[in-house]
Amino acid sequence: MYSRDYPHKPRKSVIRMDPDCAICHAPATAACDCEAKGLETAIRQAEARMMQSIYNEIRSWVRAHAQDYILEYFRLLTERRKVAHAAHLERIAAHAYHYYHAPPHPNEIAAAQAQLKRGIDDDWQASVQRYPEVLEYFFSLAELTLPSDDDPAVKDPPLSALGGSRKVGRRGGGAATVASGPSIHERERSLTRGRTPPPPPPLESSRDRRTPGARDRRSHGYRPTPTPVPTYYPPY
């Protein structure tokens, strides 16, 4: 019995052609890092164009609320110190009248005033030294959300595959969102962490003593313009 011969089918040859580097035109076997570096540069430039205004907006919001908090905290401390100072002056006057039937000596009044000034300076220093934790707290309230991977805008972006990329505006005109966060009393407790005294809710009158920024135009609705960055689009 003879075996039947079957015709031999040649295998399909697979041709693999990796493109040369799009920047330096070196062959793929050279494994250069030009494209990786170009991508990082493009990412930084796109981030500066699209995200800098959001960063500036968050920074301005955090700065304003942190200053309001610190100024109100300082106001509370100084009010309590002034009440104690007034009580001290009354004791001095009562003592002078009781023993000498005369008003207090000017030196005693001057010493009390100097003590009040030193106390106010200490209160201001203690208030300003709380800026790091207060800034971190308000920065933690800012929220930036990313769309899910199955979002239509992610799966089918409005970019032309044939004509190259076109300029696309910010999605939905969205800006940084700030979480509603806890109530003002919960915020005070989280910031003070058991310190005494806890600061009260901020008042509008405290805004006039804010530390001025480089050019603070927040009250006029000014939104800083991102610094123009040289554009570089490496072909991928």
pLDDT single digits (tens) 145-169: 999 999 988 888 888 655 555 555 5
| Closest by CA position to 120, among listed 91, 85, 88 | 85
For residues 226 and 196, give the distance between their C-alpha atoms in angstroms, rounded to a whole number: 42
Per the structure block, which two tokens stand in for 99? 């023993």
* Amino acid 231: pLDDT: 46
Residues (pLDDT < 50) of the chain are 172-176, 180, 182-185, 189, 192-209, 214-236
Which uninterrupted H or E stretch holds 132?
helix 131-139
Q: List alpha helices for 23-129, DSSP H.
A: 34-100, 106-128
pLDDT at 190: 52
pLDDT at 2: 55
Query: pTM of the predicted model, to two decimals?
Result: 0.60
Residue 160 is predicted with a pLDDT of 65
- DSSP secondary-structure letter at 104? P
